[in-house]
Amino acid sequence: MRRHIIAANWKMNKTLANVREFLIKFVKWKNNTEMQVDIIICPPSIYLMEASTLLYNTDVKLSAQNIYFENAGAFTGEISAPMLKSIGCYYSIIGHSERRAYFHETDADVNKKLKALLENGMNAILCLGETLHQRENGETKNVVQAQLSADLYGIESRFFDNIIIAYEPIWAIGTGKTATPEDAEDVQKFIRQWIANKYNQTVANNLRILYGGSINHNNIAELISQPDIDGGLIGGASLDKNSFIKIVEIANRIIGGK
Ligand code: PGA
């Protein structure tokens, strides 16, 4: 049985006071709740240190939103995997479509970042997904397959305990347009099958594949009820603590009842 994940991607939002308020309230709520899902919080890097302190001794996981693939050196402005590890942060999102689009990250970069995380004993939330144009042209599975193949190039099956994949159709991110549960399931099933063919069935069965793109408390239940959707990576609806708690509550109920 794969344990579901609800992950909050705060992107470039919040002040330090907001971060403190959110996490203090969230941890208090979580401590009084029987959790059926894993939680990962991805704050902007400037708040990771504070978040690490606030989440110390809880089972809420902390994740960066991006890393650089070198461990150290003259790379002004960048943050490395060993640096994150040293503050108790063992996850990073990589390959988010906003980084691919606005910061010109290629699959080759994403692959290097993935290797940097895995070689440092860390975990990756690897994001991929198609544009609206690609979907309308019927290219979704080709695009996803090409991303999987390039992003996972040279990654051995033993590393898969430390990999989470997030399927995020770009046209659904921050747009209010969610993929239908059936459309998301169709692609996520395809991803799992691709992993089974490339690696083996056990790796595929154990891999957690999240959906991301305009998830909110109205659509989370249907999405995570799909057999190959093992949780969500949530942007906009994760910013407000009450909204995020509501989503986690629903996920707990659905997963608990499964
Ligand atoms: P959204 O973002 O929930 O605001 O669509 C999801 C993501 O980009 O991870």
Q: Give the residue whose CA is nearest to atom 3 of ligand 1.
A: 235
Query: Does the predicted model carry a pTM greater than 0.95?
Result: yes
Calculate how far, in angstroms, residue 49's C-alpha sits from the geometric centre of ligand 1: 23
Q: Give the residue whose CA is nearest to atom 2 of ligand 1.
A: 235
CATH of 5-256, one of 3.40.190.10, 3.20.20.70, 3.30.1330.60, 3.40.50.80: 3.20.20.70
Residue 199 belongs to what H/E stretch? none
Summarised one tens digit per residue, pLDDT across range 130-178 is 999 999 999 999 999 999 999 999 999 999 999 999 999 999 998 888 8
- Is pLDDT at 1 greater than 90 in this prediction? no
Do the Cβ atoms of 229 and 211 come closer than 8 Å? Answer: yes
> What residues line ligand 1, using a CB cutoff of 6 Å?
9, 168, 173-174, 212-215, 233-237
Catalytic residue among 98, 105, 130, 168: 168
Summarised one tens digit per residue, pLDDT across range 75-119 is 999 999 999 999 999 999 999 999 999 999 999 999 999 999 999
Is 96 known to be catalytic?
Answer: yes
For residue 31, how many other CB atoms are within 10 A of its CB?
Answer: 9
State the closest ligand 1 atom to the C-alpha of 212, by its place in the atom list counted from 1. Answer: 6
Summarised one tens digit per residue, pLDDT across range 9-49 is 999 999 999 999 999 999 999 999 999 999 999 999 999 99
Instruction: Map out the domains of the chain as residue ranges.
Output: 5-256
Per the structure block, which two tokens stand in for 44? Answer: 């902007």
Calculate how far, in angstroms, residue 213's C-alpha sits from the geometric centre of ligand 1: 5
Q: Give the residue whose CA is nearest to atom 6 of ligand 1.
A: 235
- Is pLDDT at 258 greater than 70 in this prediction? no
Calculate how far, in angstroms, residue 200's C-alpha sits from the geometric centre of ligand 1: 30
Helix, strand, coil shares of the chain, percent, nearest 5, are 50, 15, 35
- Is pLDDT at 257 greater than 90 in this prediction? no
Q: How far apart are the first and last CA of the chain?
A: 11
Cα–Cα distance between 235 and 103 in angstroms, integer? 19
For residue 221, how many other CB atoms are within 10 A of its CB?
Answer: 14
Dihedral angle over CA of 160, 162, 168, 173, nearest 10: 180
Is 168 known to be catalytic?
Answer: yes
Cα–Cα distance between 153 and 205 in angstroms, integer? 20
State the closest ligand 1 atom to the C-alpha of 127, by its place in the atom list counted from 1. Answer: 9
State the closest ligand 1 atom to the C-alpha of 238, by its place in the atom list counted from 1. Answer: 3
